[in-house]
Structure 1
Amino acid sequence: MKSFLENRFKLKENNTTIRTEIMAGITTFMTMAYILIVNPSILSATGMDFNALITATALAAAIGTFIMAFYANYPFALAPGMGLNAYFAYVVVLQMGYSWQLALTAIFAEGLIFILLSVFNVREALFNAIPTTLKKAVGVGIGLFIAFIGFQNAGIIVSNDATLVGLGNLRSIAAILTIVGIVITVVLLVRKVRGAILWGILATYLIGLICQLTGIYVVNPELGMYSLIPSGIISTPPSLSPILFKFDFSNIFSIQFLMVIFTFLFVDLFDTLGTLIGVSTKAGFLNEKGELPKIKQALMADAVATTAGAVLGTSTTTTYVESASGVADGGRTGLTAFTTGVLFLLALIFSPVISVIPSFATAPALVIVGLFMMEHVVDIDFNDYTEALPAFMTIFMMPLAYSISDGLAFGGISYVVVKLLTGKRKDIHPVMYFVALLFVLYFLI
């Protein structure tokens, strides 16, 4: 088995070990396991069966991640995307009035289109056209975005009517445990403990469990303070039958429906490109030209996962930015992704255990990963404003707009405009004109 894994995932070639890869895969899973509950919660607002959605979410994540592991040999994990699931439920179904079956049909069509775009290297061309400066900026912006999500999950940053966001209650037990978790993780990193991020998650959870047993952590579901003690060990996976293959092909040629497909396509396309750029930059996968080897395989995994997810009954499945946590923990090959995929399958059986891992335990990991991804900010030439402004817009807008694609859009448009107006059109890859136009159309429509 050891030799099979070594040869299949080229571990020596990537300067990694089985232990490191498995630990990294567990770390990735721990930081994105929340999707098993959050995705069904969002999509069930459309009338879809909540329990069936749990199974669909886990299977879609496992299928996409396995394809990424074996076809692309990258440590990237996939799952139904946040933001895209909200658009599916609250806009397409509840606001526009389409049935969830028709919305699933749009996701299915999107996946097929993505497969074609991947076969004909269109998505690869878009990836390679994005300038190196923006690729560096995407990594930094994603780092801030991930850290922002971590602080939100911990209640350290909260919504505020006056200033939109503000500081939360630092005396709350969740905030305190998150800060303790950050300190523990940093100490482990400094001491070069393997799997430091994963151990930080587990240590924070165990401290929280002790706090609950001693009465310091008080269970209050209304405040998001759920019990940290598992209600059991195993459970039977819910049936997929209420949502499996539930397509509706009526009205698929209407202008409004085509616009729905375009929106799904656009957001997923540039979210995925942004995620691949950011995480690949951190992992050191990009070559001297800023290109990602085996980008076609990685994008194909994403496209097939979206199509399979629609068949199973869930919204767009995409590459997850939380993959950066596994990369930061040493993951460099598909064995990391394979481990994450296996854990998604096991989660269907051991969901009572998985569901008690609180957000304050995974928040420190997100903050630390955000810190790691800031390192490439020093590679951006801030003395050249035609490079600095697009990079700044990308970095600044990702956390504030709460969107990787929106941040990349602001950066892409400003890059083309500034370069043109300053007479540096030679710096612009021809495909970037098309990309900038797509960004403009997206914002206008």
Structure 2
Amino acid sequence: MSESTGSRRSLGTTRARGVISSGPLTWSPVINKSPKAVRRPESAPADTSSWIERHFNITGRGSTVGQELRGGLVTFFAMAYIIALNPLIIGTATDKNGLLISGVSPDVDGAVAASIGMVAAATALIAGVMTILMGVIGRFPIGLATGLGLNALVAYVLAPQMTWPQAMGLVVWEGILITILVLTGFRTAVFKAVPKALRTAISVGIGLFIAFVGLINAGVVRSTATPPVELGIAGSLMGWPILVFVVGLFLLIALHVLRVKGAMLISIVTATVLAIIIEAVSKLGPQSAENATGWALNVPELGNFAAPDLSLLGRVDMVGAFFVDGQFSVTRFVALLVLVFSLLLADFFDTMGTMVAVGAEGGILDENDMPPHTTEILLVDSLAAVAGGLGSVSSNTAYVESTAGVGEGARTGLASVFTGIAFLLAIIASPLINMVPSEAASPVLVFVGFLMIAQVVDVNWKDADLAIPAFLTIILMPFAYSITVGIGAGFLAYVFIKLVRGRAKQVHPLMYVVAVMFIIYFMQGPILSLIEG
């Protein structure tokens, strides 16, 4: 799931022209840059009086330790819902034997609650460790945690066909495969092969996507039968939780226009305090069919502290999923390969989109519009998928909510270190973390959408070759509720238009490879039906 933004201003309308070298894996964009462009190259002078300064280049990126701390905490609070949400998906689903991930039947008293607690602890641990590694090795302000959508695929598609350890084994294989793609340079080469206009469209699309996520998480926008979505309840904003969102959003807007430092963090904390008071007085409880005006995700009340149960770590079966009745099955192997490919492709391009948005909005792209330490960033993200499988929490990936931290001023990997430490503290302090309802954190996501959409002027809308793919990328991310779908549609449209216009040589060879991958991705349903039928 995956993109982050700070506050890059408009660069004016630019047109990216690609120059393909004789080598098939190199791409050098030639860009007419506006004088307004702000770049903070890695070579910028920095105070080398401490290891932290030398390693993270804090001063060189125009930041401070305090600014990184604020940005890291904002990213954490924007992502913290995964500690509560992932257990509701992974911790409550059963495998082919009717067992929870804990290995116990849900019919046993207290089994579901115990399973949820185990997944919550492991989710926070893996997110914390991998986010710290992203900060130290990738040196980029991106938070990592269990990917939404990816965990649903594991829980509702893989687990019913096998045991939980076998399902997590497939997640590990997906992580290993994507790590190999990084180590061979393929993943980085694909990133470089994407035209700048499409990279910009990815950032804008993710801006709309994350704003949509924020509105849905807050209950401002809700799904219905007809129309598909509507404002609040029956077209009206109702309930105290909505008031918390509105107060948080308008407070954030006021602080932003007044240039108050820490605006996003102040908004989250203030809205959370208001939510705690409201819940203490009104006892609203969680949202449900009978309680439409309740809290959407976390109920803002203090829970009971308990020792974390990390016994899920290492419960992995790497080969069992490929066997039927003790015999290796070619048909099953091919069918599972398609599912693993779907996991891989979602991980592959969600992270690419996140990198683009973080770098663009934070003003930390290099002269070729590439994030610094690209290979290291992608490597840590790939290893996070492996770690997610080994931790029995599903594939971990870069989070689009990282945009919130960059919007608050995060510019270096130190912010990710702070985010990761907060996740580790959440292992034992989850009751405190769960006090922050989604209605208090969602205003930040909506506001970050505003920051990201400003980049839309960087697309040359008069050039149909780039404008149409950019348009499809932008609209399909929120409409299909998937970053991967938006990227895939844009890439396929770009290749198709170039072929139709007889400009096939203008397309980087790797874009053709990616186009074929996305065709398979979009047709995975019919392909699986043919294999299994």
| TM-score normalised over the length of structure 2 | 0.80
2-side partners of 1:313 and 1:156: how far apart?
33
Partners of 1:219 and 1:107 in 2: how far apart?
35
Deviation at 1:197, TM superposition (A): 0.8
- Out of 73, 84, 91, the residue aligned to residue 139 of structure 2 is 73
Note the residue ranges of structure 1 that are not aligned, 5 or more in a row. none
Corresponding residue for residue 35 of structure 1: 82
| 2:308 aligned residue | 237
Match of 1:158 in 2: 222
CA distance in 1, matches of 2:441, 2:49: 30
- Does residue 323 (structure 1) correspond to residue 402 (structure 2)? The answer is yes
1:88-118 per-residue CA deviation (whole Å, 9 max, x = no partner) reads 0011123xx1222111111111111122111
Contact 2:276–2:435 (8 Å) recurs in 1: no
Paired with 2:486 and 2:287, the residues of 1 have a C-alpha distance of 34
* Residues 248-281 of structure 1: per-residue CA shift (max 9 Å, x gap): 5124362122222211111111111122222222
Per-residue CA deviations over 1:10-38 (Å, capped at 9, x if unaligned) read: 11111100000001000000000010111
Q: How many percent identity over aligned positions? A: 37
SS in 1 for 2:397: strand
- Segments of structure 2 that go 5 or more residues without pairing to the other structure are 1-47, 95-99, 103-114, 323-329, 525-533
Displacement of 1:426 after TM fit?
Answer: 4.3
Q: Distance in 2 between matches of 1:203 and 1:174?
A: 13
AA of the residue aligned to 2:363: G
In the alignment, is the contact (CA less than 8 A) between 2:215 and 2:446 conserved in 1? yes
Picking from 486, 495, 498, the partner of 1:419 is: 498
Paired residue for 2:276? 209
- CA displacement, residues 346-390 of structure 1 (integer Å, 9 cap, x when unaligned): 001111111111010011000001110001001111111111110
Distance 1:211 1:408, change over 3 A: same
Q: Work out whether residues 61 and 411 of structure 2, in 8 Å CA contact, stay in contact via their aligned partners in 1.
A: yes
Name the residue aligned to 2:129: 63
Give the ranges of 4+ consecutive aligned residues of structure 1 lying more than 6 Å apart after TM superposition.
none
Mapping for residues 337-376 of structure 1, pairs under 5 Å: 337-376=416-455
Letter aligned with residue 104 of structure 1: M
5 Å-filtered alignment, 1:42-191, equals 42-44=89-91, 45-46=93-94, 47-49=100-102, 50=115, 51-94=117-160, 97-169=161-233, 170-191=237-258
CA distance in 1, matches of 2:286, 2:393: 30
**2:60 aligns to what?**
13
Cα pair 1:235 1:348 within 8 Å, conserved: no
Whole-Å separation in 1 of the counterparts to 2:450 and 2:49: 34
Give the aligned residue type for 1:423: G
Q: Is the 8 A contact 2:280 2:301 kept in 1?
A: no
CA distance in 1, matches of 2:478, 2:210: 8
The worse-fitting range, judged by mean Cα deviation, of 177-186 and 78-87 is 177-186
Contact 1:5 1:18 in 2 (8 A): no
Amino acid at match of 1:200: S
Quote the residue 2:28 is aligned against. none
2-structure distance, mates of 1:310, 1:192 = 43
Separation in 1, partners of 2:508, 2:451: 29
- Residues 1:388 and 2:433 are matched in the alignment: no
Q: Which whole-Å deviations, capped at 9, do the CAs of 1:114-168 have from their partners, x for residues lacking one?
A: 2211111110011111111110000000000000011001111111101211111
Structure with greater helix share of residues: 1
CA–CA separation in structure 1 for the residues paired with 2:85 and 2:218: 16
Check the 8 A contact 2:162/2:321 in 1, yes or no. Answer: no
Q: Secondary structure in 2 aligned to 1:350?
A: helix
Name the CA distance, whole Å, in 2 between partners of 1:37 and 1:213: 20
CA distance in 2 between partners of 1:358 and 1:147 (Å): 17
1:51-78 residue CA offsets vs partner (Å, 9 max, x unmatched): 2211211111112111111111101110
Kindly provide the CA deviation profile for residues 400-433 of structure 1, in whole angstroms up to 9, marking residues without a partner as x. Answer: 1111010000000001111221233343222111
Question: Given the alignment of the two structures, is residue 294 of structure 1 paired with residue 373 of structure 2, yes or no?
Answer: yes
Classify 1:285/1:177 alpha carbon distance in 2 versus 1 (closer, same or farther; 3 Å): same
User: Following the alignment from structure 1 to structure 2, what is the Cα–Cα distance between the partners of residues 102 and 303?
Assistant: 20
CA contact (8 A) 2:122 2:312 kept: no
**Paired positions, count:** 440
Q: Distance in 2 between matches of 1:129 and 1:290?
A: 12
Change (3 A) 1:292 1:427: farther
Look up the SS of the partner of 1:115 in the other structure: helix
**CA deviation map 1:175-196 (0-9, x unaligned):** 2221221110011111111121
Query: What letter matches 2:425 in structure 1?
Result: L
CA RMSD of aligned residues (A): 1.8
Q: Distance in 1 between matches of 2:438 and 2:76?
A: 13
Residue equivalent to 2:260: 193
Residues 141 and 247 from structure 1, CA distance in 2 versus in 1: closer, same or farther, beyond 3 angstroms?
A: same
Q: 1:207 to 1:161 in 2, by over 3 A?
A: same
Paired letter, 1:428: V
Residue number among 514, 521, 531 corresponding to 1:442 in the alignment: 521
Match of 1:283 in 2: 362
Q: Could you say what secondary structure the match of 2:320 adopts?
A: coil
- 2:299 and 2:155 map into 1 onto residues whose CA distance is 28
Separation in 2 of the partners of 1:57 and 1:306?
12
What is the rounded CA distance, in whole Å, between the counterparts of 1:227 and 1:303 in structure 2? 33
Asked if the contact 1:235–1:352 (Cα under 8 Å) also holds between the matched residues in 2, the reply is no
Decide which structure has the larger Cα Rg and report it.
2
SS of equivalent to 2:409: coil
1 CA distance for matches of 2:286 and 2:311?
34
